[in-house]
Each structure stands twice: as structure tokens, then as C-alpha cells.
Homo-oligomer: A and B are copies of this chain.
Amino acid sequence: MAACGKAIRTRSRYAASTQRVCFKPAGHGGKCEEFPYLRHFVIAAPKVADKIIRDSIMTTGAAWKSEKAGPNRILRWVMLRSDEELADLGINMANLKPQVVAKLREKAADYSSCMAVAQKLTSLAYGMANSPEAPLEIQHELEELGVPVVLGRTSCLVCGEALDFNLFAAAKRGKAEIETSHSNPRLHIPANVGFAHRACNIAQGNKTVEEFYDWITEILARVRPGQ
């Protein structure tokens, strides 16, 4: 079963060169939708649905928006465009600090990768302990999209510990306890994306998880030798 694939109209000023499409099953009834498999989370856990869409398709930029700090979130595929094309869209990369530019460019990803990431994150969220149960129809759709739900098997991408769905709602000092995470922070493709504890994601920093494991192995060899 293929996805519908029909064009979805958006009002975004960035729409020009990227066509967003419908991911309902081909031959579906009703109107086309880009994230049909999120229709249950939209009701059962709307903040999680928002987070999955946002983290899949948007870059994170500066912590707050300003002329100098740059746009705080922008569509990842827009960041694939040249400085000239971006200037036409009102984003003047030359005005931004080099570190902001690097951060934005690093988070660029094409549209189909972003869609595949959203699908995978949805499946992983349903796979967490204490997740709302996925309706069978959605389980079937996610399976058809190549990302079957594996109940209770979703673990932190960094520390490997099982993740509890309730951590989405937990927050310390205003920061959610689960973050979207990348095995390689510079690669936004499904094979490389998952969820992690906030503390794990922060500790990993801009290292790949393998580099992170090598690094902490070295630390322990130095500070707790002979263990």
C-alpha cells in the first residue's frame, strides 16, 4: 500500500520550491493530510503531536528571536537553499553570526527525510512504556509506512534506558524531560533519530553517540582506573 502523495496546499511563504504531500493511504476517503497517523495523539496527547511535527520539520536556531540571532525556527528544507534564495525569502544569512548560520545549516534536511522522521518518532512514542495505546488502524498505517510500533521497547537513544511516555509531560525548570535526539547530531534522517532524556541529549552535545561512548569510556579509565 503506497501513500496518497497528492499535493497539499500551504500558505507558507516558503512553499515555492517544495511540495508538501498527503501521507494517507492511497485511495483514501476524506481530505488529504500530511500527518494522518498523528490524529490520535492530536487528541490524546496534543503536546506530543506538536512536538513530533515541530522537531521533525523545524530547525532550532537561537533561544529567542531577534534580527541578529536569526529566526528561531524555520522549515528544515528551506535551510537547504542558497544564501541568495534565502535573502529573497527575507532571511539574510549574511547578517547572522557565523555560529548561528552553522547551527541553522547543520539542521537542514530535505522534505522526505523530515516526513520519514515524523513517522518514526510517532512509532517510537507509541512504543514507550505508558503510552496511550495506538488505535489498530494507526498501527497498521505506521507499519505500512515502514515504522511498525514495538510496544514498550522505545529506549533513550543515548543511555539505552527504557523511556516512559509520562516524561513528555515532566519538566524540570521549565524544560521537558524528553527531547528528540540524533545519533549523529548533523544528520536528520530516520535511521539517525530517536528520543532521549534531556540530560542525555545535553551530555552527548555535538558528538555522535559512538564518540560519546568512547569519550565516557576514556573518562572512566582516567578517573576510576581498575574498575
A interface residues, Cβ below 8 angstroms from B: 63, 97, 99, 102-103, 158-161, 173-174, 199-200, 202-203, 205, 209, 213, 215-220, 222-224, 227
> Which one of B160, B174, B199, B209 contacts A97 once the chains associate, using CB atoms below 8 Å?
B174
Name the residue of chain B whose CB is nearest to the CB of A160: B222
User: What's the minimum C-beta distance from A172 to chain B, rounded to whole angstroms?
Assistant: 8
> Which one of B202, B203, B213, B222 contacts A223 once the chains associate, using CB atoms below 8 Å?
B213
Indicate the member of A97, A99, A216, A218 with the most B CB atoms within 10 Å.
Answer: A216
A216 touches B220 (CB 8 A): yes
User: What's the minimum C-beta distance from A142 to chain B, rounded to whole angstroms?
Assistant: 26
B99 touches A222 (CB 8 A): no
Bound complex: CA of A63 vs CA of B62, how far in Å? 12
Residues of B within 8 A of A216 (CB): 216, 219-220
Bound complex: CA of A174 vs CA of B100, how far in Å? 10
B160 touches A223 (CB 8 A): yes
Question: What are 5 of the A-B contact pairs (CB < 8 Å)?
Answer: A160-B222, A160-B223, A161-B222, A213-B223, A216-B219
> Given contacts A202-B202, A216-B216, are A223 and B159 in contact (CB under 8 A)?
yes
Complex A-B, nearest 6 residue pairs according to Cβ-Cβ distance, in ascending order: A99-B173, A160-B222, A203-B203, A216-B216, A160-B223, A159-B219
> Which one of B63, B159, B203, B222 contacts A159 once the chains associate, using CB atoms below 8 Å?
B222
